[in-house]
Amino acid sequence: MPRKLAYRNLPQLFLKAREELLCHFRPIITHFGLTEQQWRILRTLSEMEQLEPREICDHCHILSPSLTGVLSRMEEMGLVTRSRVPEDQRRVIVRLTPKSEKLVGELGPLIVAQYKIIEQAFGPELIKQLYEVMDKVIAAERGPISRIALPPKKDWSAIEA
Amino acid sequence: MPRKLAYRNLPQLFLKAREELLCHFRPIITHFGLTEQQWRILRTLSEMEQLEPREICDHCHILSPSLTGVLSRMEEMGLVTRSRVPEDQRRVIVRLTPKSEKLVGELGPLIVAQYKIIEQAFGPELIKQLYEVMDKVIAAERGPISRIALPPKKDWSAIEA
DNA sequence: GTTGACTGCTTAATATGTTAGTGATTATAT
DNA sequence: ATATAATCACTAACATATTAAGCAGTCAAC
């Protein structure tokens, strides 16, 4: 007896909508030999001058273990530099290189141009609505939302039938 | 000279908003030893009875190469069965098992309960707006949106400085 | 009935997501 | 001062994302 849940899968809708947007930018980014995450970092660094890894994690929504690898590869490619903070040997400062600044200088305008095209196609009101709704969702703090009680844990992977 | 682009990073906003939502469901899903993708598949199969792999890819937004591994693991766990279509040996039918149907029967109501809590916290209007805006974005077909012209390809990873 | 194009799933290779844990460093509380 | 806790980046292990390529099965034209 197949039964639909009362609510549509909202996170999945986000996924789909995001992909619908991203597919218009991905060709531009890959054209320059970058991944989506690498571009997020380059763009953020070009706006913030210098950042520490955990700040990049926050701004770019990349988890710390992933970032380690991403930064290593970007360092190899000569896109960023990593230097320790003298007064706190745990911390690291990440900066753009002249090369990556030039890259952002070329890539950025193309991204903006694509945004304009999308704005035309979607209509400026939809874009505005998008930003509004997103900001509302993000503004809803994670804390105050209560969590349902979970039943005792069963090891389903071990249950026979 | 750090300069901000004219547009905020919209796909990144989607990512953040999605995570803001998902973090309220993730504990429920992992409590049952499932991954997010596995739950997407279970939920969809429980609503559609039976599906072929490429249909699952479409519905759940999982790329075909990923799905191969996901389904293998789910088969190992006894959550789904895979059977060939006799009249077309290329195609495969994926179904839930009695075990996974029972699992969905326990998990589903918890998900719905969490949606209700979120609806209270966000306000029903915001949820409604969300569905509306998402559907609008998704409705905007990928085809008609034109693509900007890309400059000749440079191999940035090989450029010195 | 063979050839050639196509479809559907899989494999391969690399990059990232996710959770847990480690080691070194710094801050805090005795 | 010293033990403790907290912080930060990193490693490890596994799952998924992404792109490209492979391979068997089907279909259509000839």
- Taking 3-state DSSP, the helix, strand and coil percentages for chain B, each rounded to the nearest 5, stand at 60, 10, 30
Separation of first and last alpha carbons in chain A: 18
Reported as a pLDDT band with limits 50, 70 and 90, residue B47 is very high
Contacts of B13 in chain A (CB under 8 A): 130-131, 134-135, 138
Specify the pLDDT at position A112. Answer: 96
Q: Do A20 and B121 touch (CB under 8 A)?
A: no
Which regions of chain A are under pLDDT 70? 1-2, 142-143, 155, 157-161
Q: Which fold has domain A10-140?
A: Arc Repressor Mutant, subunit A (1.10.10)
Q: Quick one: pLDDT at residue A142?
A: 66
Count CB-CB contacts under 10 A for residue B56: 23
- Greater confidence (B74 vs A140) lies with B74
**C1' of C10 to CA of B65 (Å):** 7
Strand C, nucleotides < 7 Å from a protein CB: these are 7-13, 15-21, 23-27
Contact A150 B31 (CB under 8 A): yes
Kindly give the residue spans of alpha helices, DSSP state H, lying in B23-89: 26-31, 36-48, 53-60, 64-76
Chain A residues close to B33, C-beta within 8 Å: 155-157
A18, A28, A108 member nearest B15 (Cβ): A18
Q: Which nucleotide is nearest to B65 (CA to C1')?
A: C10
Nearest residue in B to A58, CA atom: B16
Q: Give residue A83's pLDDT.
A: 96
Nearest residue in chain B measured CA to CA from A25: B147
Side chain identity at residue B26, one-letter code: R
Residue B141, classed as helix, strand or coil, is: coil
Closest CA to B139 of A118, A122, A117, A137: A122
**pLDDT over threshold 60, residue B161:** no
Report chain B's mean pLDDT, rounded to a whole number.
91
Q: Tell me the per-residue pLDDT of B105-114, one tens digit each, with 9 for 90 and over.
A: 999 999 999 9
Specify whether the CB–CB gap between B71 and B57 falls below 8 A: no
- Candidates B134, B145, B139; CA nearest to A118 is B145
